[in-house]
Structure 1
Amino acid sequence: MTEIAIAGAGAGAAAAAFVLADAAPDADVTVLEKSGGLCGRAATRRRDDLTYDYGANYLKADDERVVDLVTERLDAEGLVEVAEPVYTFDSDGAVSPGRDADERKWSYRQGLTQIAKRLFVRTDATVHRRTPVETVRRVGDDTARWELVDAAGESWGPFDRLLLNPPAPQTAELLRTAEWASPLRDRLVEAASAVEYRTIWTAVARYLFEVDVPYYGLVNADKEHAVGWISREECKAGHVPDDETLLVVQANDGWSREHYDRDPAANAAALAEHAADIVGDDRLADPAWVDTQGWRYALPESGIDGDAVDAAREAGLHFLGDWVAGEGRLHAAIANGLDVGERVAADL
């Protein structure tokens, strides 16, 4: 039996496992995920009687395969479409219509993590949560394989194929410290390290009243404002009680890096003030409660060199995620996972 390991349980990993379940049914797939959840930055939390997507905000209809996957091939129960458009605002906070007004956007009543959950449930993959991979090891001579060592010191493997799903900087570090004496390792470290990321610091704010605006989200088009994005979770059916507002306010890269390690409460208060100014409603400066999250490696600004990806494949090593696709979007991560699953199956 072919043994396949996937480090990380993000959307790309789930999509690859989904393809392998059909295209390589004799393969045994083991997934090691460092956190207690699934789907990476497409993350969902529940608090009181609210559900909110506080990382990636929605799935965009920009890839026909992904659209077919979520609307036809997977269970579509609970899939909700966000009907309201995305507007823009400038460095002065002035709001204008016209950004992606007609594009389709989806989440689930239970949140975006449902994508990974619904993909994995269609596989026989074994997912081990709270099992961070700390060491990658190349073993054997003529038929070299992969072993993984987790934070508790437990060894996993050997595996015939290894798929790495962490963000590029974390993948680069795994390779940099890998027990693998090969010039290819250094080449792959350099390629993964070259992928730059935007950092995003997020505040989620609940209000016991409803705001009257015509848009779902606001994006800072000139990237000159402290805030990069504001969205309304009440536009997703089943997320927020009637007559309430839940804003997801994400700071831009510069503000996020500067404030990343500062007091979360002070950061959230500052972002609520900004949201009140941009939306034009002073009440938004005083939320009923806030939740916060920092994403140090939020959105890739570019993709990894394709020649390096091809070279890694020859060694039975594959990279997964939006940073491989070169587009910081959930649909891009899923599409890349579908591609990688097909490549691995073809190699087998």
Structure 2
Amino acid sequence: MTRIGIIGAGAAAAAAAWAIDTHSDATITVVEKSGGLCGRAATRRRGAVTYDYGANYLTAADDRVVDLMTETLDTEGLVDIDQPVYTFDSASHVTEGRDTDEHKWSYEQGLTQIAKRLFGRTAATVHRNTKATAIHRRGDRWEIVAGAERFGPFDSLLVNPPAPQTAALLADSTWDDPLRAELTTALETVDFRTVWTAIVGYPFEIERPYYALVNTDKSHAIGWIAREECKPGHVPAGESVLLIQASHDWSVTHYDDPPAENVTRLAEMASTILDDERLATPAWSDWQGWRYAQPETDAPTALLRAAEGHDLYCLGDWTVGTPRLHGALRSGLEIADRVRQSR
């Protein structure tokens, strides 16, 4: 029986695990450093409030992903954001935008439902709070090292973390092949956008004709503001929740500043953009720093394919040049195809 190891339980890994499990008799073992699932498509709950604090929604930009969401997975709780996305510039001037996304999907329970439902349809064993620290090649098999724990051997190894984190795993690998060093160096040079996010809640409704605002001239400290109450089931009536994503430059500069100070700064700037001074003093707040939020440069595709010849597969939105949630899911489905074809 084929044994598959997966590092990371993000959206790509979940899609790959489902597709492999559905079409083969492979055994699948997943190690995930956090206590949750779905990676940057992350959801938290605060009392009666639910908010997606990483990826904001899933689009219908890929046919296989649409089929996965609407035909394969249970659509109970699947919600679509009706309001459009507007734009704002460096002077905080808001204008109607061009909303090109046909659908903006989440779930009443949040985007983590994607991975939960996919893994729930498999027999995969998922080890949460288990951080992979290295990968080893033993003959023609792979092994995952997670502190004092060892997982494997595996016939194929799928690696879901962003390129720089995958490079770190390879750097400590015992894989004795010239491709290891070449691939490690190439992955270290894949650039990612850093995003520091503030989540702020208010005991009143914010009346606006849009779901979100995106900064189009890339000259503002804030890149994106979204109204979580536009997602059915996320925010109780009479309340509002804003997700405020800082720009890359601002996020890098302030990444290690005290979170409370960052939240205050971002809330004040958001209040100016939305022209409502009440928004400068939220009733509650949360935050998240994403050091590797979105890929900015192309992946070394030729080297990634060469690694697949050694049963090592990298997956995630950064591998397919589509830095959005549907890109991650598509990556997982395509990798599953190639894993099955190799066996």
TM-score range, shorter chain: over 0.9
Give the structure 2 partner of residue 23 of structure 1.
Answer: 23
Per the TM alignment, residue 181 of structure 1 is displaced from its structure 2 partner at its CA by 1.5
Give the structure 2 partner of residue 104 of structure 1.
Answer: 103
1:277-318, Cα deviation, whole Å (9 max, x unpaired): 111111111100100110011111123121111101100000
1:2 partner amino acid? T
Give the structure 2 partner of residue 184 of structure 1.
Answer: 179
CA–CA distance in 2 between the matches of 1:50 and 1:210? 14
Which of 302, 305, 310 is the equivalent residue of 2:305?
A: 310
Per the TM alignment, residue 33 of structure 1 is displaced from its structure 2 partner at its CA by 0.3
Which of 160, 166, 173 is the equivalent residue of 2:168?
A: 173
Per the TM alignment, residue 46 of structure 1 is displaced from its structure 2 partner at its CA by 0.3
**After the TM superposition, which of the residue ranges 30-39 and 296-305 deviates more from structure 2?**
296-305
Q: Does 1:258 align with 2:253?
A: yes
Give the structure 1 partner of residue 277 of structure 2.
Answer: 282
Give the structure 1 partner of residue 137 of structure 2.
Answer: 138
Give the structure 2 partner of residue 62 of structure 1.
Answer: 61
1:176-215, Cα deviation, whole Å (9 max, x unpaired): 1111121010111122112100000000000011111100
Q: 1:161 to 1:274 in 2, by over 3 A?
A: same
Q: Secondary structure at the match of 1:333?
A: helix
Q: Are 1:7 and 1:31, in contact at CA under 8 Å, matched by a contact in 2?
A: yes
2:32 partner amino acid? E
Q: Are 1:81 and 1:105, in contact at CA under 8 Å, matched by a contact in 2?
A: yes
Q: Are 2:7 and 2:30, in contact at CA under 8 Å, matched by a contact in 1?
A: yes
Give the structure 1 partner of residue 238 of structure 2.
Answer: 243
Q: Does 1:2 align with 2:2?
A: yes
Q: Which runs of 5+ in 1 are unaligned?
A: none
Give the structure 2 partner of residue 13 of structure 1.
Answer: 13
Q: Secondary structure at the match of 1:98?
A: coil
Per the TM alignment, residue 73 of structure 1 is displaced from its structure 2 partner at its CA by 1.1
Q: Secondary structure at the match of 2:4?
A: strand
Q: Are 2:60 and 2:101, in contact at CA under 8 Å, matched by a contact in 1?
A: no
1:131-162, Cα deviation, whole Å (9 max, x unpaired): 1111111102xxx11011102x1111111000
Q: Are 1:303 and 1:327, in contact at CA under 8 Å, matched by a contact in 2?
A: no
Per the TM alignment, residue 123 of structure 1 is displaced from its structure 2 partner at its CA by 0.9
Runs (4+) of structure 1 exceeding 2 A deviation are none
Give the structure 2 partner of residue 331 of structure 1.
Answer: 326
Equivalent pairs: percent with the same residue? 59
Q: Are 2:44 and 2:52, in contact at CA under 8 Å, matched by a contact in 1?
A: yes
CA–CA distance in 2 between the matches of 1:62 and 1:113? 19
Q: Does 1:227 align with 2:226?
A: no
Q: 1:101 to 1:324 in 2, by over 3 A?
A: closer
Per the TM alignment, residue 102 of structure 1 is displaced from its structure 2 partner at its CA by 5.5
Q: Which runs of 5+ in 2 are unaligned?
A: none
Query: CA RMSD for the aligned pairs?
Result: 0.9
CA–CA distance in 1 between the matches of 2:322 and 2:276? 33
CA–CA distance in 1 between the matches of 2:100 and 2:11? 26
Give the structure 2 partner of residue 150 of structure 1.
Answer: 146
1:119 partner amino acid? L
Per the TM alignment, residue 111 of structure 1 is displaced from its structure 2 partner at its CA by 0.2
Calculate the TM-score normalised by the size of structure 1: 0.97
Per the TM alignment, residue 22 of structure 1 is displaced from its structure 2 partner at its CA by 1.8
Q: 1:101 to 1:309 in 2, by over 3 A?
A: closer
Q: Does 1:301 align with 2:300?
A: no
Q: 1:102 to 1:324 in 2, by over 3 A?
A: closer
1:323 partner amino acid? W
Q: Secondary structure at the match of 1:59?
A: coil
**After the TM superposition, which of the residue ranges 188-197 and 128-137 deviates more from structure 2?**
188-197
Q: Are 1:194 and 1:304, in contact at CA under 8 Å, matched by a contact in 2?
A: no
CA–CA distance in 2 between the matches of 1:291 and 1:102? 28
